[in-house]
Structures are given as C-alpha cells and as structure tokens.
Chains A and B, each alone.
Chain A
Amino acid sequence: MFKSPAKLFQLVITLLACAFLLIPTLQSALAGVTVNYFRGVSSGLTFKWIIEVWALYSGSIFLSIWLALACLMCTLIIGVPAAYALARNPGRLSRMLEEFISLPLAIPGLALALALLQLYGGWREFRMSWTFILVGHVLYTLPFMVRSVMSVLAAIDLKTLEEGAASLGAPPHRRFLDIVVPNALPGILAGALTVVTLSIGEFNLTWMLHTPFLKTLPVGLADSYASMRLEIASAYTLIFFVMIVPLLLAMQWATARAQRIMS
C-alpha cells in the first residue's frame, strides 16, 4: 500500500492537514472539561464548567434554537412558493428576481444589519424584540432555501408533470401540494438544514442586531470569550459543537440525496 514514496507523501500530508484541524478542536473541547487548563489534564476532569455555562447562557441556547426554527418556518413559507414561481416562469425577470433575492449572500452581514437598523431602529418595540433578529436571519438564509429548491425543480419536467395532474382533474393548489412539494422535497430538506445551521451559527449580522437581553449562541460565545475564564469559554465551544455537528452531518446527507435526484 505504501510502496511508492509519492503515496506515502500523500498520506503524510493528509494526516498532517487533519491534525492541523483536529488538534486545536480537541484541545479546546478538552479544556472545557479540565479543572484547571493551565495545569493541564492532570488537574482532573470535571463537568463544572459545562454546568456553569448552562446556568449563564441557557437562555441564549434556547433563543438560538427558537430563532432557527422560526427562521426555517419563514423561509419555507416564503422560499418554497418563490422557488416554484421562479422555476415555473423562466425568463429575464425571473433571473433578475433570483439575483435580487441572492443579494444578501454578497453583502457583508454587517452592512445588512446596518441597513435594518437605519430603517427600523426607531421603531422601539420591534427593535427590542426577537423578531428583529429573525428578520435579519430570514433575509440572510432565504437565498439558500430558494436556490436549493430551485435546483431540484429545474431537474424535473415540472411543466409536463403539472399538465399531467391538471388533465387528471387536479386544480392548481392540489398540483402544488401533490406534485410540486413532494418532488421538491430533497431540495426543501437540504435547504432546511442549511437554513437551520446558518441561523444557529450566524454571528456577523446578529451581533449588530442583538440587545443585552437577546443574545444568540454565537453572540454569547463571543461574550464568554471576552469576559469569562478560558475553561468556561471552552465548555461553551463544546456545547456549540455538540449542537452544530449533527446538523452539519444531516446537511451533508440531505445535500447528497438531493444531488442524486438531480443527476
């Protein structure tokens, strides 16, 4: 297997790259359960820090989950019909609309947040409520949902399928529910996981929009890095990992499935 030096060299490089990524991660995770980081693991292992993080920041964790789910609902309700409309009426106008929806991808989150603040900042109740952050998240994640659904819809002969359903007596809303949604499901699923993952991890925009009473998971993370002892910050990272890694894995799986359908 390792006969040729070229193969061996490749293996070493790969392992080094993995180590480069993994060691700091493991070290950070380990720090979160170490009694005293400066004395090392020999000081003993503990769940103390994790419990402390939970006590301090569980509100942020729940807010993030809640925001992610609300954001998912919004992108589903707006994004799926929008993707359908765009896929069904291809043309210059549709292309322009698609680009327009995708603008938040190109604009830095900070700029987007600034625009929102300028526009709605004076509206106190809205500014102080969680829905303000939600609007930011929806703007930021919507293009991912729309594009994911559109790419699946573009791969099937939607027009003919719908004509088939119509000739069998299906009115427009039934065609949408019975034909469009089920066939777009892999794209919807991939889009949904992307939206949830992005919403939970979003920092840029959220940091600008948050208030002292509304901190999401990543904002809390920054907060703990800035003001807490290293073990707490590390324990926080550990919790973040535990939440985000399964989501990332599920996203990989769903995207692969969607791609299989498109090919």
Chain B
Amino acid sequence: MTLSLTNTAKTYADGTRALKPTKLDIAQGEIVSLLGPSGCGKSTLLRIIAGLETPDEGAKLLFDGEDFTRFPVEKRKVGMVFQSYALFPNMSVRGNIGYGLKMQKLPKTEINRRVDEVITLCQLEPYAARPINALSGGQRQRVALARAFAPRPRLLLLDEPLSALDAALRGQLCDELAQLLRSFGITAIFVTHDQDEAMAIADRVAVMSHGEIAQIGTPEVLYRAPQSEFVARFIGAAMPLGRHIDDNTLHFETGSLNLAGSQAGKKAFIRAEDVRLDDTGPLRAKVISVTFLGTHYRIALAGLAPDPVFALHSALSAPKVGDTVGVAINPAAILMLPSDKKAA
C-alpha cells in the first residue's frame, strides 16, 4: 500500500466531529474518489492527508511505510488542487507552474524544461505567458492541475476541482481530467459530491456519510452491491419498495412478489430503470406524474411503496396521469439491505 491511514479522526476546535476514526488504504497509481453529501467530512479527510489540518491524537498516516503524521505541508510532497484553484495572481501561468520547482531549488534550465513539458501535456501552450486573471474557468482549472503536478508529487489531492465550472463545461472537463490523471500515472484522491464525476474518474470510490466511510469499492460494486441503505440511495438513487416483508414474500397494496430465501428484518430497494411498465405484470400502480426527458419518460407511481416509486419508461408514448398501469419487477434486481433507521 502506498498511502495508509489508520485511526484518523478530526474534531474541530468548536467541538464539531467532522471525521470519525477512519481507515483508508490506497495503492500506487490508484485514483480514489471521496464521494458524499455536503458536510460529510470529505474536505476534512483530504486536508488531513495534505497536512492542512492536524488530525486528533492517535492518528497514523503512512506513505510507503514512512510515518508522515507530523510532517508540515511543505515537506509532504503532495500536490493539491483547490476548489477555488488558489492560483497566484501575482504570477503568470508559467510562474505558477514553475513555483513548486523553484521551491525544490532546481537549476533554471531544468525548471524551464519541466514547465514546458507540463504545459504541453496540459495543452496550455497558447496561454503560457498570460496573467492568471486573463484565463477562463476551464483554463484556470488546467493550470491548477499543471501547477500541482509539475513538482512530481507522490500524491495528488483534488478538492472538488470541477465544481467552480458551469454544468456544460464540467462534463467535458471531467473526461479530460480523467484522461490526464491516467496519463500522469499518479496516485490521486479526488473529492466530489457528484456521483457521475466520481464514477467517471475513479478506480475506487469511497462513499462518505456523517464523518465516516460508509463503503469503499469499484463503481460497479457500489452500484450493484451496496451494503447499506445510504449507499444504495446515494449511488443510483435506489427507492424503498413494498409495504412489508414477510419471510420470503414482499407485500404490496395490490399483490406480492416472491423473494429468494428468507429476508425477514431487511428492507427492499429498487432503481427506476428496473421498474417496468407492463400490462401483464403482477403489480398494479397509479400514475401520479409523467416527465418527458427526451430518451425516456420518468413516471412517478403510487401504490408500490409508501412513497412514490419512479419508473424509467422508454417508449413513444406514456400513460396519462391518473391511469392505473401494470408493473413488472425482476426479483433479481431488488436490493435487499439491512434497514438502518438513521440513514440520511
């Protein structure tokens, strides 16, 4: 393991418990995303790794076996991309990118060579001599990345690097960023509260909730085998299904489904893409709203659970509000999860 955190917690001076004791291991070259709702402690964890916050007593941070828990920021050799980019307004693009190399006291020719290299890699050639305030948001984002990467840090940390951009640009830069990080071949930790961003960029995603890592795994595992209600709801927006479970039967107002084996004490969840409108289906539901989304309709149904359940319906036409429709659900698509009362 390249980076390994044990028992890392953070209590702020005002008593806020931002991070509960956390364990995290990251392999060489791996890109890990910290994903979670606002205020769940993502930035806190990232800033502890960067050395910008001191963890509570008892934490241990190792890098390739070396304990760096007490190292100051400037000795940690981590590159950091801030949400606001924090580019130095008193320097040009070149000056910003070369600053880390200057701090390493490299000779001038070497600095110039490596700055050129990174500028080419990040496709910043046309802007190299510009002052920072003459750049667009997307260009600033690339300069921030280039600046963090130029000194060849052991670890690259990114705190919501795309959130300052507008939605259209974000999608485009997200792919670009994923590609760049891969081409760097660097170990990176990436904070975001956007599920698509995390999935697109990361090898593994750590879903965080209320100051702890709820589950960590590849995007596929998180999506297909969430271990808790929180993860299921957060990744892919799973919805509770049915009224109650009675051994191996899931009961609805207007019917029931058989489940595989005894599921007593668990809760059933379903995703919108697995709810199929089918007049021959075993269940009945009432349409309460229909939203046209181009490729499909998003239909809210009453009668499948105490709350409305959404279905994605790909067809040329949709039922009308107030209609009663048949619904088919493949029992294999139902997620059976231990019920946690305190889920957000």
Taking beta carbons and an 8 Å cutoff, which residues of A are in contact with B?
156-157, 160-161, 163-171, 174, 178-179, 182-183, 185
Cβ B89 vs Cβ A170 within 8 A: no
Residue contact A167 to B80, C-beta cutoff 8 Å: yes
Asked if B99 and A163 make an inter-chain contact with CB atoms under 8 angstroms apart, the answer reads no
Verify B74–A160 contact, CB threshold 8 A.
no
Q: Count CB-based A-B contacts (< 8 Å).
A: 64
Q: Is B148 an interface residue (CB 8 A)?
A: yes
Cα(A161)–Cα(B321), bound, Å: 54
Q: Are A182 and B90 in contact (CB under 8 A)?
A: yes
CB–CB B88/A164 < 8 A: yes
Chain A residues within an 8 Å CB radius of B52: 163, 166-167
Contact with A169, one of B84, B87, B103 (Cβ below 8 angstroms): B103
* Beyond A167-B148, A169-B151, 19 additional pairs, beta carbon < 8 A: A160-B82, A160-B86, A163-B52, A163-B73, A163-B82, A163-B86, A164-B82, A164-B86, A164-B87, A167-B76, A167-B80, A168-B74, A168-B103, A168-B147, A168-B148, A170-B74, A170-B99, A171-B74, A183-B89
Flag whether B104 is at the interface (Cβ < 8 A): yes
Residues of A within 8 A of B50 (CB): 167
Q: Give the residues from 86 to 106 in chain B that come closer than 8 angstroms, CB to CB, to chain A.
A: 86-90, 99-100, 103-104
- The 8 A CB mask of B144-180 against A (1 = contact, 0 = none) is 0001100100000000000000000000000000000
Is B90 touching A170 in the complex (CB atoms < 8 A)? no
A180 to B329, CA, bound (A): 62
Chain A residue contacts of B82, Cβ below 8 A? 160, 163-164
Most B Cβ at <10 Å: residue of A164, A171, A182: A164
CB pairs A–B below 8 angstroms (17 shown): A157-B84, A157-B86, A160-B82, A163-B86, A164-B82, A164-B87, A166-B52, A167-B52, A167-B76, A167-B80, A168-B99, A169-B75, A170-B103, A174-B103, A178-B99, A183-B88, A185-B90
Find the B residue at minimum CB distance from A172.
Answer: B74
Q: Which 4 A-B pairs have the closest CB atoms?
A: A168-B100, A164-B86, A169-B103, A182-B90
**Contact call B89/A169, Cβ cutoff below 8 A:** no
Main secondary structure of the interface of A (DSSP, over half): helix
Does B79 make an interface contact (CB < 8 A)? yes
Are A165 and B89 within 8 A (Cβ)?
A: no
Choice from A161, A164, A170, A179 contacting B80 with Cβ under 8 Å:
A164
For residue A169, which residues in chain B have a CB less than 8 angstroms away from its CB?
74-75, 77, 100, 103-104, 151
Check A167/B73 contact, CB under 8 A, given A157-B84, A160-B84, A178-B99: yes
- Tell me, rounded to whole Å, the shortest Cβ–Cβ distance linking B48 to chain A: 13
Closest to A170 in B: B103
CB distance from A162 to the nearest CB of B (A): 9
Instruction: Report how far A178 CA is from B82 CA in the complex, Å.
Output: 19
Write the chain B residue with the least CB distance to A174: B103
CA gap between A165 and B144 in the complex, in Å? 12
Query: Of all chain A residues, which has the CB nearest B99?
Result: A168
Bound Cα distance from A171 to B90, whole angstroms: 18
Closest to B77 in A: A169
Residue B216 at the chain A interface, CB threshold 8 Å: no
A88 to B341, CA, bound (A): 43
B-side contacts of A179, CB under 8 Å: 88, 90
- Among the listed B72, B77, B88, which residue makes an inter-chain contact with A165, where contact means beta carbons less than 8 Å apart? B88
Q: A157-B84, A160-B84, A178-B99 are in contact. Are A167 and B78 (CB under 8 A)?
A: yes
